[in-house]
Structure 1
Amino acid sequence: MKANDETVLPQALPGFEKIQRYMDFKRNISMAKVQPGEFYATTNQEAIITVLGSCVSVCVRDIHLGIGGMNHFMLPLKGSIYDKESIVSDATRYGNWAMEYLINQILKAGGRRRMLEAKVFGGGNVFPNLSPEVSEQNIKFVLEYLYNENISVKAKDVGGNVGRIVVYYPKTGLAQVKYLEDIRKSEVSEIETQYFRSIDTRVSKSGGIELF
């Protein structure tokens, strides 16, 4: 059976049909790939994968039911640095959207807020032409949000000058991280630069970690 044969995949929750999913035969598990600006939640025995540069991903799950998911987002920029006013207005609303939509989908699928835990990844300073403030503000926002929502941060791997591949298994809570080599960091930078521009346009209009 081919890896792109959708018949081998468990049914996605309503609303997530457009998320790229495939069978990872090496891990023998269905994999959902989350791109910048996307999120994915599942009740199935699945894994979720994303590639991060300066963006941040938060993995959230109900620790008893194993219902969980992952997002991938960045606070909006103006030009090459953060606009101080947008941090408390449009930027914060965008970050809230990324977090609240993920959490609400988990709760809608049967997860319980009091049982949620989170793991946080990304926020690497991988853009040579941008201030480290880009990454720092993303990390700060996420950690403050989770603190204010009383969601325990079980683990985090953030900051530094590295890009990351993150694989998350909501059923068990296992998170795997692989650091990117410089050539891959360059590819991630290009993808996230396009993402930065797109979100700026939209805003202006409106248990542990395993290395592998």
Structure 2
Amino acid sequence: MTSLSDKPRSPSDAIRVTVMQGDVRVSTDPRVELGTVLGSCVAACLFDPIAGVGGMNHFLLAEPPASQGGGVDVHYGVYLMEMLINDMLAWGAMKTRMKAHLYGGANLRTGMKAIGTANAEFARSFLERERISLMRHDLGGTGARRVDFRPAQGQVRCRTVDAQLAPQEQAVARPQVSNGDVELF
């Protein structure tokens, strides 16, 4: 485990790690900066200020449908939240000292199911159930976000992506009648 240093570091010393959908990353290295881009997905950034350990996850959906059964799917928050907490405990964190930041949960498509809202509500209720303090959040809305997190220090920067710069959603034409054929590509 790397100990924290009081020596200031230059931005060129940073080790940038991208956290993709279904990913969990944990670090004690003060040079590590975790980053992700979110739409309806949610990223939880947890840290233990005493142990100097923190981590980030990135989940696509809150919980699997009841019809899916008991399988594990890394795209669901229910799994990734537990993974993040357990990984941090393995690095010396204590759950009673954990602090949280939540980001994402946008509803990017009008007229569609509010997946972002469901993800944000799940993340908040999970933290409440687990008695983890929510220090800061930027959830909901209609814009994408870029999140950068320094896990060892618990520092977060969240920027909203300008709607004009976000890719436009394009409707996909589907055949009116299905003949039962499957096209593989």
- What TM-score comes out, normalization by structure 1 length? 0.66
1:92 CA drift (Å)? 10
1:27 CA drift (Å)? 5.2
1:170 CA drift (Å)? 1.4
Deviations 1:66-111 (A, max 9, x none): 201000002169xxxx96x569x88999322110001100000111
Q: Does 1:51 align with 2:37?
A: yes
Question: Residues 92 and 118 of structure 1: is their aligned pair in 2 closer, same or farther, counting only changes over 3 Å?
Answer: farther
Q: Does 1:117 align with 2:102?
A: no
Assess if the C-alpha contact under 8 Å between 1:126 and 1:185 holds in 2.
no
Q: Does 1:40 align with 2:28?
A: no
Q: CA RMSD for the aligned pairs? A: 3.1
| Corresponding residue number in structure 2 for 1:3 | none
Which structure carries more helix by proportion? 1
Question: Residues 86 and 124 of structure 1: is their aligned pair in 2 closer, same or farther, counting only changes over 3 Å?
Answer: farther
List structure 1 segments (4+ residues) > 3 angstroms apart after TM superposition: 25-28, 89-94
| Corresponding residue number in structure 1 for 2:146 | 165
Q: Does 1:75 align with 2:61?
A: yes
| Corresponding residue number in structure 2 for 1:136 | 117
- Take 1:76 and 1:172, find their aligned partners in 2: how far apart are those partners? 27
Unaligned runs of 5+ in 2: 3-9, 171-185
Give the 3-state SS of the residue equivalent to 1:185 in structure 2: coil
1:112 CA drift (Å)? 1.0
- Take 1:116 and 1:73, find their aligned partners in 2: how far apart are those partners? 19
Identity %: 29
Unaligned runs of 5+ in 1: 1-9, 12-24, 191-212
- What TM-score comes out, normalization by structure 2 length? 0.75
More divergent stretch after superposition (59-68 vs 48-57):
59-68
> Which entry has the higher C-alpha Rg, 1 or 2?
2
Question: Residues 53 and 103 of structure 1: is their aligned pair in 2 closer, same or farther, counting only changes over 3 Å?
Answer: same
For these two proteins, the number of residue pairs brought into alignment is: 161
Q: Does 1:178 align with 2:159?
A: yes
